């Protein structure tokens, strides 16, 4: 954001003007014209607050402003002067139906003082609507960590670009709905929010192999592979084949069950190993003898042992936090930094799952999943995701793009399936 700000085609005061105006507009649309209290800190986040106060006043909203100390930047001083109205000390500010937190944004370096964070929490809890400017104060922008107590907001208005904290736990759970205000700058880079994927078209002369063969290696619990293989079939693979020693119930008839099949078969678009694998590390070893692209999920991740074994494997791995720690140990830094370090160590595309799923590539690209419903947290949904990614990979998408697309589609399928869905229901929405 700092380099985007420096390269901005307009003056910084104009950016602040746009930020404050967008904040006022978003708060007004969200809460309606109810009496508002703006809490303004010493930096430019506070400056945005003074601008927003001026706009709300122009829109005939009843506005009060409470400040935490004096403005410390030229921009904030100018915005404070342009407000021109009364300024209360934050310690005695009375509650209001709409509270807008402009204490700290991206410049926060340490936790708020106890008295300030308690005051903020008290005012937020007694408000009908609580809105945060850029970030709730106390959130660390880069890591999503909480540097001090952070109350739950209803709306967070981010400026210019989402920061990592808007998509990382625990911070994202405090933000309520997150909206992005266009203030005329963009922050381009290898970190981005995953958007709706462009899926490969089906060629007019396609046949089942050209559309992608997914070959699945089953283990001790075939039900999990039934979910994954069904998901692969429903995600546009031309052919899904399951190698199994005993018939698996519940698979669509179009999914072919075979005994052994050669894993060097060049028609295999993607191998899938892990769902329901159990204690059969030899199946992972077998998969690693194949040079075909692969998705390694669930128990298979635990059998990898050394991440370097995945180098040159053209693999996507899909660990949740437990599986991630088993394979990579306790890595330092934020979840984003850990995911990237894991991708670099393994040479694999890492889908680090959770409420804040990330997709990391060894070359430094990092996709942040848009929020997905919490009701995805049930058994079997990970198997479905693994099958989806395998199908997209077999359809010819590169590993990173296939993983991002799978994650995005999985979240949207869950939204459509609704709160009492089970993993099997997701299949109907792919």
- Residues near ligand NPW, by CB under 6 A: 1, 5, 15-16, 19, 41-48, 72-73, 104-112, 133-134, 159-160, 183, 185
Cα gap 36→181, rounded to integer Å: 20
Cβ of residue 43: shortest distance to K ion, in angstroms? 10
The token duo for 327 is: 């394979």
Q: Which is nearer to ligand NPW, 89 or 329 (CB)?
A: 89
Tell me if 296 sits within 8 A of 346, measured CB to CB.
Answer: no
DSSP3 helix / strand / coil % (the chain, rounded to 5): 40, 15, 45
Cβ of residue 88: shortest distance to K ion, in angstroms? 18
- SS3 at position 24: helix
- Backbone phi, then psi, for 323, in 5-degree steps? -65, -35
Q: Is 101 in the site for K ion (CB under 5 A)?
A: yes
CA dihedral for 145, 149, 152, 155, sign (positive or negative): negative
E strand or H helix at 286, and its extent? helix 281-289
Site for K ion in 137-156 (CB under 5 A): 137
Binding residues: 224, 276, 320, 353-357, 382-383
Cα gap 412→410, rounded to integer Å: 6
Partner interacting with residue 35 (select from K ion, ligand NPW, none; CB below 5-8 Å by kind): none
Cβ of residue 119: shortest distance to ligand NPW, in angstroms? 13
Partner interacting with residue 382 (select from ligand NPW, K ion, none; CB below 5-8 Å by kind): none
Partner interacting with residue 101 (select from K ion, ligand NPW, none; CB below 5-8 Å by kind): K ion
Site for K ion in 103-142 (CB under 5 A): 132-133, 137
E strand or H helix at 102, and its extent? strand 98-102
Interior CA angle at 372 toward 21 and 421, to 5°? Answer: 140
Q: Which is nearer to ligand NPW, 182 or 220 (CB)?
A: 182
Partner interacting with residue 48 (select from ligand NPW, K ion, none; CB below 5-8 Å by kind): ligand NPW
Nearest to 215 by CA among 284, 271, 274, 290: 271
Cβ of residue 68: shortest distance to K ion, in angstroms? 11
Partner interacting with residue 233 (select from ligand NPW, K ion, none; CB below 5-8 Å by kind): none
Give the distance from CA 271 to its chain's centroid. 26
Q: Which is nearer to K ion, 142 or 337 (CB)?
A: 142
Cβ of residue 370: shortest distance to ligand NPW, in angstroms? 21
Contact residues: K ion, CB under 5 A: 101, 132-133, 137
């Amino acid at each position: 954001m700092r380099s985007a700000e420096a390269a901005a085609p307009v003056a910084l005061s104009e950016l602040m003007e746009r930020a404050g105006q967008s904040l006022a507009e978003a708060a007004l649309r969200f809460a309606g014209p109810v009496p508002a209290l703006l809490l303004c800190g010493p930096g430019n986040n506070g400056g945005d607050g003074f601008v927003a106060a001026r706009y709300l006043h122009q829109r005939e909203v009843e506005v009060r402003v409470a400040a935490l100390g004096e403005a410390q930047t030229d921009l904030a001083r100018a915005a404070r002067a342009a407000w021109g109205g009364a300024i209360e000390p934050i310690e005695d500010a009375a509650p209001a139906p709409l509270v807008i937190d402009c204490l700290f944004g991206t410049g926060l370096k340490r936790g708020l003082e106890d008295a300030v964070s308690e005051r903020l929490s008290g005012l937020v809890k007694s408000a009908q609507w609580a809105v945060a400017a850029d970030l709730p104060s106390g959130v660390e922008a880069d890591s999503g960590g909480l540097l001090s107590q952070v109350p739950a907001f209803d709306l967070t208005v981010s400026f210019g670009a989402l920061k990592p904290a808007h998509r990382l736990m625990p911070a994202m759970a405090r933000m309520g709905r997150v909206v992005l205000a266009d203030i005329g700058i963009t922050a381009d880079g290898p970190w981005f929010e995953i958007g709706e994927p462009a899926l490969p078209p089906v060629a007019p002369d396609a046949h089942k192999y050209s559309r992608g063969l997914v070959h699945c290696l089953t283990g001790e619990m075939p039900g999990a592979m039934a979910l994954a293989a069904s998901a692969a079939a429903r995600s546009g693979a031309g052919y899904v084949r399951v190698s199994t020693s005993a018939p698996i119930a519940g698979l669509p008839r179009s999914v072919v069950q075979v005994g052994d099949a050669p894993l060097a078969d060049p028609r295999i678009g993607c191998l899938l190993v892990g769902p329901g694998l159990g204690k059969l590390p030899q199946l992972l070893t077998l998969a690693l003898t194949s040079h075909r692209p692969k998705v390694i999920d669930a128990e298979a991740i635990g059998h990898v042992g050394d991440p370097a074994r995945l180098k040159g494997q053209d693999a996507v791995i899909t660990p949740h936090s437990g599986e991630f720690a088993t394979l990579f140990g306790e890595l330092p830094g934020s979840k984003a930094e850990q995911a990237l370090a894991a991708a670099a160590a393994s040479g694999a595309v890492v889908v680090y799952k959770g409420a804040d799923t990330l997709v990391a590539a060894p070359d430094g690209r990092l996709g942040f999943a848009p929020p997905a419903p919490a009701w995805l947290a049930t058994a079997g949904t990970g198997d479905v995701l693994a099958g989806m990614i395998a199908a997209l990979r077999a359809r010819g998408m590169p590993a990173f793009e296939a993983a991002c697309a799978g994650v995005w589609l999985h979240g949207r399928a869950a939204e459509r399936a609704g709160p009492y869905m089970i993993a099997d229901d997701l299949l109907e929405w792919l």
